[in-house]
Amino acid sequence: MTIIVTGGAGFIGSNFIFYMLGKYSNYRVICLDRLTYAGNLSTLKQVMDHPNFRFVKADICDRDAVYQLFEQEHPDIVVNFAAESHVDRSIDQPDIFLHTNIIGTATLMDACRRYGIRRYHQVSTDEVYGDLPLDRPDLLFTEETPIRTSSPYSSSKASADLLTLAYHRTYDLPVTISRCSNNYGPYQFPEKLIPLMIVNALNDKPLPVYGKGLNVRDWLYVEDHCRAIDLILHKGHVGDIYNIGGHNEMRNIDIVKLICKHLGKSESLITYVADRKGHDMRYAIDPTKIFNELGWFPETTFADGIKKTIQWYLDNRAWWEDIISGEYQEYYAKIYGNR
C-alpha cells in the first residue's frame, strides 16, 4: 500500500505519518508538502531515514509536480491535509486560502482520476457547519447539518468538500471526507490557541484572549483524529462524510486558565483583546455515525491530553523557539499589535 499524505510537515499531517508508519510496517508513506510557514522539516526528523518514508517538497496546486509524483509512485491512497489552516490569517489575506484549499484539492483529485486510486480522503473541518448558540447545548453538528460558513478559511474548506463530493458523483472518484473538531497535541504551530498560550506563558508574555473568552470549542487529542482517519480509509463507506469529535466542549477562557495552572503562571498574564471578526461562538460535534459504523471514540481524555501536550512543549523548546524567532514575529505584531 502506498499512501501520499499532503501537508505532512504540518501539525496533524505529521502526527498522521508517525501513526501510520508505527502501525503498518508494510505501508509506504510519501509526504508531499510545500513547506509554507506552517510546514517544518524538523517536525519530520524522526522519520526522515525510515525506509518506508519519502519526503517531496511540492505545491498541491502545481499540476506538473503532482502528476509527476503520481507517475512515479502510483499511490493507492491520498490523504489531503495540505491547507492554509488558520482563521485569523484568512481574515487578513483570503486569496491564498482559496488557491491552496480549493485549487489544490481539485488538482490532487485530477491526478487521482488520471492515474487511478483506491481512495481520496479529504481532511475537512467542523467549521464548514458555521457555529451553534451557547444557550442551546442540545444542538450538535451532524453530517446532515447544512453548510453555513463564517470565515474565508471555512468557506474555502467547504468549497473543497463540495468539489470532493462532485468528483465522486460526476467521475465516480472513490472519496471520503472527515470533518473534525479542534485538535491539540505535539507539533501544533504556536499561532493556534493552545500552543500560543503555552509558549506565551512560558515566556511570561500576555495571553491574548479574544472578546470575553466565552467561545466554545470541542477539543480532540490529535492521535484520536489520526486513528479516526485510518478507520475511515480502511472501513469507511465511499462517498460518505464522517464527523469526528468527542463531546469535549470547553470555553477558551477555561483552557487558558488551565494552562496557567499547569505551568504555575499567574492568571494576571491573561489580557482580553479585540474579538476576531465574524467569530464563531460554539462548535460541537455529534460523533454518532463514526461510533456506530466504525466503532470510533476518543481514547484520550482532555485532562490527560493537555498534560501530555504541555509536557511536550516543555520538552521541545528548541522546536518552537526556532519558529517564534523567525517570520512569526512579524505575524504576531500584525495580528496582535493593535488589538
Stretch that binds ligand NAD, among 55-63, 164-172, 233-241, 310-318 (CB under 6 A): 55-63
Catalytic residue selected from 126, 218, 223, 224: 126
Q: Residue 298: what residue type? A: P
The Cα 254–Cα 248 span in angstroms is 13
Q: Is 186 in the site for ligand NAD (CB under 6 A)?
A: no
What Rg, from alpha-carbon coordinates, does the chain have?
A: 19
Closer by beta carbon to ligand NAD, 13 or else 305: 13
How near is the Cβ of 97 to ligand NAD at its closest, in Å? 10
Interacting residue ranges for ligand DAU, rule: CB under 6 A: 85-87, 125-127, 181-182, 192-193, 196, 208-210, 215, 217, 252, 276, 283
How near is the Cβ of 105 to ligand NAD at its closest, in Å? 9
C-alpha cell at 44: 519530520
Q: Which does 196 bind (CB under 5 to 8 A by kind): ligand NAD, ligand DAU, none?
A: ligand DAU
> Which value, to the nearest 10 degrees, does the dihedral of the CA atoms of residues 298, 160, 152, 191 take?
40
C-alpha cell at 190: 504556536
Report which secondary-structure segment, H or E, holds 177: strand 175-180
Of 35, 42, 108, 46, the residue nearest 77 (C-alpha): 108
Backbone angles phi, psi at 56, to 5 degrees: -130, 120
Stretch that binds ligand NAD, among 57-65, 67-75, 232-240, 288-296 (CB under 6 A): 57-65
Q: Is 243 in the site for ligand NAD (CB under 6 A)?
A: no
Q: Is 224 in the site for ligand NAD (CB under 6 A)?
A: no
The Cα 270–Cα 281 span in angstroms is 20
Q: Which does 252 bind (CB under 5 to 8 A by kind): ligand DAU, ligand NAD, none?
A: ligand DAU
Which residues share a beta bridge with 318?
A: none
Closer by beta carbon to ligand NAD, 6 or else 300: 6
In Å, the largest CA–CA distance within the chain is 57
Catalogue the active-site residues.
126-127, 153
Residues that bind ligand NAD (CB under 6 A): 6-7, 9-13, 33-36, 38-39, 59-61, 81-85, 100, 104, 123, 125, 157, 180, 182-183, 189
